[in-house]
Chain A
Amino acid sequence: KQEVTQIPAALSVPEGENLVLNCSFTDSAIYNLQWFRQDPGKGLTSLLLIQSSQREQTSGRLNASLDKSSGRSTLYIAASQPGDSATYLCAVTGTASKLTFGTGTRLQVTL
């Protein structure tokens, strides 16, 4: 059974700092990995999708990498801003096309 772990569970950084969020998964037989952002009381917003054949994807200040063989992904956020404060979720699509989510990292960017 696929398990997705996100460390740390919570993170607080000062504005302007670069930061890395980690995601690990137990079964490397995945089709893709997706990073989401969730604001309190809101739905999920897709940030980046990395196909299993790709190593990384970039969108603005966000860069996500994927090392399928080691079961790891990282989300790099450059020059963090208070507006980046949210919970970040990673999810992998595995066998039977099932999406398995991690429990998220709650990020707070302080002034």
Chain B
Amino acid sequence: NAGVTQTPKFQVLKTGQSMTLQCAQDMNHNSMYWYRQDPGMGLRLIYYSASEGTTDKGEVPNGYNVSRLNKREFSLRLESAAPSQTSVYFCASSADRGYNEQYFGPGTRLTVT
């Protein structure tokens, strides 16, 4: 049972480049989330998907897009990377939105130069 997996683990981008962060869970959870973690800021919600086929903005959605590809997979896309998007990105999942324990992936460390 792998839980929540994320790829890649590390990535360096130049300003203006695009990339997609991948996330998958094997716990049959309905809800999935993308967070970013910055020093002194705590974790902040970027986007979430309460169930397959739905996505909603979180606290800091600007500059990002998401796709809930199926029940298992939830991807985060940066269309035109900026240095302000240098961060550690975490994907999480829970059985249902909000009321259940959230399980986190290992994170993707992204640097934009």
Binding site for B on A (CB under 8 A): 4, 31-32, 34, 36, 41-46, 49, 89, 91, 93, 96-99, 101-104
Select from chain B the residue with minimum beta-carbon distance to A46: B101
Contacts of B53 in A (CB 8 A): none
Q: Give the dominant DSSP class at B's interface.
A: loop
Establish whether residues A43 and B105, one from each chain, have CB atoms under 8 Å apart when the complex forms. yes
Binding site for A on B (CB under 8 A): 4, 33, 40-45, 50, 58-59, 90, 92, 97-107, 109
Known: A43-B90, A43-B106, A43-B107. A98 touches B45 (CB 8 A): yes
18 A-B pairs in the complex with CB atoms less than 8 angstroms apart: A4-B42, A34-B102, A41-B109, A43-B90, A43-B104, A43-B106, A44-B90, A46-B103, A49-B101, A89-B43, A91-B102, A96-B98, A97-B98, A98-B45, A98-B58, A101-B42, A101-B43, A103-B41
